[in-house]
Structure 1
Amino acid sequence: MEVEINVQRKIEIIILSGFLGSGKTTLLKNLLEQEQKSGRKAAILMNEVGEVSIDGYLLPPNFPIEEITNGCICCSGKDQLERTILNLYKTNRPDVIYIESSGLAHPIDVIDSCLSPIIANDIEIKNVITVLDSLRWCHRQEYSKPIQCLMEEQVKYADLLLINKIDLIQQQTFNKVIEEIENLHPNIHYQITSHARMEISSIQSSCHEREIEHQQFHVHNHLHINHLVYVFTKPIEKNLFEQWLQTLPLSIFRIKGFIRFKETPVKTTLFQYAYGVPMYLNQEIAFPTNLVLIGEHLNAEKLKRQLEKLEN
C-alpha cells in the first residue's frame, strides 16, 4: 500500500469500547456535539459485525464517517482499519478520529490494529473509553463464560470507564457494581452516567503500547457470535412483532434496524433491542428497512423463517 502522509501534528484517536447495547453510539453523539461547538474537526470510524450499518444513520450530520462492516476490526478487519484511517486523514484532515468499535471487540486488539507501522508515527491514541451497561453487568452471569470474560476485559483495559444507565439500578446494586469494578481494576478512572453524558474535557491522554498480554477473543472462534441481516419487503403488524420478541432467547444480545409498521403513519421506525428491552423511535425519513440481529449460536435460518412469517 502506497502511503504519503506528512503531518506536522499527530491525529488524536479516541476508541469507544463496550459490550453490545451499552450506549457507545449515544456517547459518540454527545461527544460530537461538543466537538462541533469547540470548532475542532472530528471524523468517525464505525465498526459493525454485520453486513450493514444502522448506527451511522443516528449520528449528527456534517461529520465525515467511514464504516467497516461484516467483520470485527480487531480480527479480520485490521488491514481495512488502517486504510480507513488513512483515507479519513487524507480526505478530511481531522483533529480527532473517533473509533466506535464493535461491541464484541477487545480494546487492546483495537489499539494494536491502530498501531500499524505505516501510521503509528502519525497518530496518538489518546484514550480508550469503555461504556458499561450497569444493569447488564449485574446480570452477566446469565451469559456464557466467554461473553462474561469479554465484558470484564473491556472494563479492565479502559482508560476511562463510563458506568452508564445508572438510573436503572438501585443504590445497593450500584455499590456492588462499584466494588466489583474496583476489585477488577483497582486504579480505574470512572464516571457515573445516564444516557452516556460526559464532558469532553475529562478525556485525558493515556499511553498505549503494542502487544499487551490479554485474553484473546475472536468473534467466531471463541465467542461463537454470529449475525443475521433481514430485509423487510413490506410493513408488518407491531403487535405480532412484539409477540415474536417475547419468544427470543437470552443468547440474542442485540437487534437494531428500521421497520415499517402498518399501524404507524411515519416512513420508518428505528428499532433497538438489547437484552430483552425494546426501544422504538419514529423517523420521518424512509431509511432502508434492514434489521440486524447479533447473538451467540444464532439460529439464523429459524429466525429468518419467523421474520418472513411476520410479513405474510
Structure 2
Amino acid sequence: MPRAAMMRINFIPGVRQRLGWRGMRACPQAPMGLTARIEDRTGIYGLYPSTEQQVGKEGVATFSLFYFPEPEDDIINAYSLAAGFAAYDASYLDRLRDFPIHTEFAQLFHIGEIEVRLAPDDQLTLSLIAPQRDRTIAVEGITARLHGTHQTLVEPGGLDQDLPCHDLAYPFFEILAASLAYAFEQAPTALQCEQTDHVKRGFDTAGEVWQKLDPEHTLDALRLGWTFSANGSHPTFAPIDPREWSRDSNAAARYEQAKWWNPMVPGARHSMDKSTMGIEEKPKLILLTGFLGAGKTTYLSHFIEHQAARNQFVAIIQNEIGEKGLDARLLGQHYAVEEIDEGCVCCTLIDNLTAAIDLICQSYQPDFIVVETTGLANPANLLSELSELEDRLEFSSVTCILDALNANIGLETYDIMRDQIAVADTILINKVDLAAAPQVEALKQTIHHLNPFGRVHLTTDGDISPRTLYGVNFEGPQKIAAPTPCGCSHDGHEHHCATHHHYGISSKIWHPSRQIEKDALEAFLLALPPTVLRVKGLVRLGQENGLWVCQHVPNSVQLTRYRGTDAPAEFLVFIGEDLEEPLARVDDAVSVRLAAPA
C-alpha cells in the first residue's frame, strides 16, 4: 500500500509537489523496491518490503526504510566508517539504484521500518518504527593506514556510528502518511506514540559484537489509524510486538501541524482528474524519429532521467518494427510505455496511436508524451493525425536523430532518411565520438541542404539537456513541414504498409538453438553487409551469467547486461534487405568457438 500510494501521487504533478515528493523510481533489478527524493533533503530514501504475515486477524506488512546521503552532506559523519567509505566509492550510485540486491551495502544505511496493518473491521494502521539514535561503539578503536602512516579514525571506546534515525525517517513518513490521506480522501482518526528500550552495539577488531541497552535513547513508534467503516468507530492499535511499550501522552501536540491532517492538499494545482478542476494544462508532445540504430532509445533514456529529476512525468509510445519489442525493456520502470508492435505508426497504425495517446492521457495525465517511431517511419504522415488531438496535446517538436558514423551512406540509399530530416525542427547528430570531423561536417552540410531551418546539435551517447534543444519551457521556434507521403502509394495510404517492403526492407526473428560464443557473435555481426541495417535482441553468451542485450548497426556491436528481472526467451531481430543469407548461416557462425590467437 505505501508503494501504491507513492506511485499514484507521483502521477499528479501539483499534488506531489505540494506534499513534498521530488522524484521517484522503481529499482530496475528489484521492482518492488523504490528510491525517492523529498523536499529539504539532499539524499535519497529507499523503501523495500521485508515481511508480510498474518497476526491474528490482521494482515501486517513491514517495509525497511533506508537513507542514502550525498557524500558531501554533513550527516555522513553520523554514519559508520563503512557507510562513509561506501558513499565515496565509485559504485555508490549504481548500488543505490538497486539497493535491495546489495543487502550488506543497504544495511549500512538502514534507518527504520514502516509497518502497515489492515484489520478485518475496515481499520488501517500506518506506523514508523525507528530508534531516536542508533549507536555503534568501536571498543578498540579504528585505525587505518593513510598517506603512509597509521592514523586513528575512531578512538578506543568511541562511536563509529551515532545516527539520528528517527529524525531522518520522519520527513519521509510525514509525506507518505499525507499521500495516504489524500488517496483515502480522509485524514487519520487516531494518533499514538509508543516507546521501548533500544540497544547500542559494540565490536572489537576480532569481529566480536555485543549489545546492551542504551539508557539515553529509545526505539520510538509513531502510529496513525484510519477507520473506513460506516459507523465511524475509533481505531484501536494492536501491540507492535511482545516487548513492553510505553505510551507517550504528550505526542499529539508535537504533530498538530503534520501534513496528514489535511487530505485536501491545499494549494495543489492538479487533481486526479484535471478536467473536473478546469485545468487546461496539456501534455507536451514530442515526435521522435531517426533511422535504425541512430540512438533514439538512448536519447530517450537521458530525456526521461532529466525530466524525472524535475518532477516531470514522461509517457512513451513506442512503435517497434519486428515481432519483439525490446526497447521498452531497456528503458526501466518509472514511466508508462504503450507499445505498438508489428507495423509502422506512420502508416497502418494511426488509429492505434490515437487510442494509445487517449489511454495515456486518461490514465497518467503526463507532462510529456514522446512518440518514438520506427527507424523507417516518415513523421510527415503523422502530423495531420496529431493535429486532430490539439485539444488534448501541445505539439512541441519533431526531433530527428542521426548516426554520425553511418548517416551519409544511408542518405545515399534511403529516401526515408531524407524525409525524416526534412520534417524535423530539431536534429541531433549522435555518436560524433565515433566519426571523423570531416565526416560530421559533410553530414551537417547535407542536413542544411535538406532542411535549412532545422536546429542541429552534436551529441555523444544521446546525452544532451532538453533545455538546450527546446528551451526552458519548450517554447522554442516551431517549424512543421508540409507533409510528404511515405511512398506507400500515390496518396500515401491507399494500401497497407506494415513493414515498408517498398524500400526492400523487412524484419526477421532468429531464435538460437545452441550456445552462443561472444567472440563468434561479435565477429559475425561486424562482418554483415551494410544492407543489414539493424540487429537487436537478448542472448545468453557462453559461460557468462544471465542475459545480454545485443545492439548492432553497421560497423558497431554493443553487448551489455540485461537489467530486467524477468527471463524472456533469447532472440535477435534482423532488419534490412536480403536477410535470407545471413539468417541461413547465423546459427553455425555464432556457435563456433574462435581459435585463440597464436
Normalised by the size of structure 2, how large is the TM-score?
0.47
Kindly indicate whether residue 167 of structure 2 is the aligned counterpart of residue 167 of structure 1: no
Q: 190, 193, 196: which is aligned to 2:462?
A: 196
Structure with more strand by fraction = 2
- Distance change (3 Å), C-alpha of 1:177 and 1:303: closer
Matched, 1:158 2:424: yes
Q: Please give the alpha-carbon distance, in whole angstroms, between the structure 2 residues aligned to 1:235 and 1:114.
A: 46
User: C-alpha distance in 2, partners of 1:53/1:107?
Assistant: 20
Distance 2:442 2:421 in 1: 15
Contact 1:269–1:281, Cα closer than 8 Å, also in 2: yes
* Distance 1:43-1:213 versus aligned 2 partners, 3 A rule: closer
One of 327, 341, 344 as aligned partner of 1:72: 344
Q: Do structure 1's residue 87 and structure 2's residue 353 form an aligned pair?
A: no
Distance 1:251 1:47 in 2: 22
The alpha carbon displacement at 1:12 in A equals 1.2
Q: Judge conservation of contact 1:130–1:158 (CA < 8 Å) in 2.
A: yes
Contact 1:17 1:100 in 2 (8 A): yes
Flag the 1:127–1:234 CA change in 2: closer, same or farther, 3 A.
same
Q: Is the contact between residue 318 and residue 339 of structure 2 (CA under 8 Å) also seen in structure 1?
A: yes
Displacement of 1:54: 0.7
Residue 294 (str. 1) matches residue 584 (str. 2): no
CA 1:304/1:192 → structure 2, altered by over 3 Å: closer, same or farther?
closer
Cα distance between partner residues in 2 of 1:180 and 1:307: 36
Instruction: Indicate the residue corresponding to 2:510 in structure 1.
Output: 230
Matched, 1:214 2:484: yes
Q: Which residue of 1 aligns with 2:404?
A: 134
Counterpart amino acid of 1:273?
H
Structure with more relative contact order (C-alpha pairs < 8 Å, separation 6 or more): 1
3-state secondary structure, aligned to 1:105? coil
Which sits farther off after the overlay, 176-185 or 242-251? 242-251
- Aligned in 2, Cα 1:241/1:82: closer, same or farther, shift over 3 Å? same
Deviation at 1:215, TM superposition (A): 4.8
Q: What is the total number of aligned residue pairs between the two structures?
A: 299
Counterpart secondary structure, 2:324: coil
Q: CA deviation at 1:207?
A: 4.8
Question: Aligned pair in 2 of structure 1 residues 80, 262: CA closer, same or farther (>3 Å)?
Answer: same
Q: Does the CA contact (< 8 Å) of 1:74 and 1:113 recur in 2?
A: no
Distance change (3 Å), C-alpha of 1:220 and 1:194: same
**Equivalent residue for 2:446, pick from 170, 180, 198:** 180
Contact 1:81 1:114 in 2 (8 A): no
Matched, 1:43 2:322: no
- The letter for the 1-side match of 2:357 is I
1:246 positional shift: 4.5
**What RMSD in Å do the two structures reach over aligned CA positions?**
2.5
Amino acid at match of 1:43: A
TM-score by length of 1: 0.87
Question: 2:404·2:439 contact (CA, 8 Å) conserved in 1?
Answer: no
Q: Distance in 2 between matches of 1:49 and 1:283?
A: 21
Name the counterpart of 1:110. Answer: 382
Gaps of 5+ in 2: 1-273, 489-498, 593-598
1: CA distance between counterparts of 2:583 and 2:433? 35
Larger Rg: 2
Q: Structure 2 counterpart of 1:49, which letter?
A: I
Code of the residue aligned with 1:93 in structure 2: it is Q
Contact 1:217 1:223 in 2 (8 A): no
Shift of 1:250: 1.5
Structure 1 gaps, min length 5: none
Change in 2 beyond 3 A, CA 1:69/1:170: same
Q: Secondary structure, in 3 states, of the residue corresponding to 2:486? A: coil
8 Å Cα contact 1:164/1:194 also seen in 2: yes
Paired with 1:234 and 1:86, the residues of 2 have a C-alpha distance of 44
Deviation at 1:308, TM superposition (A): 4.0
Report deviation, 1:86. 0.9
Q: Deviations over 1:60-106 (max 9, x none)?
A: 32111111110000011111111111111111111111111101011
2:310 and 2:520 map into 1 onto residues whose CA distance is 46
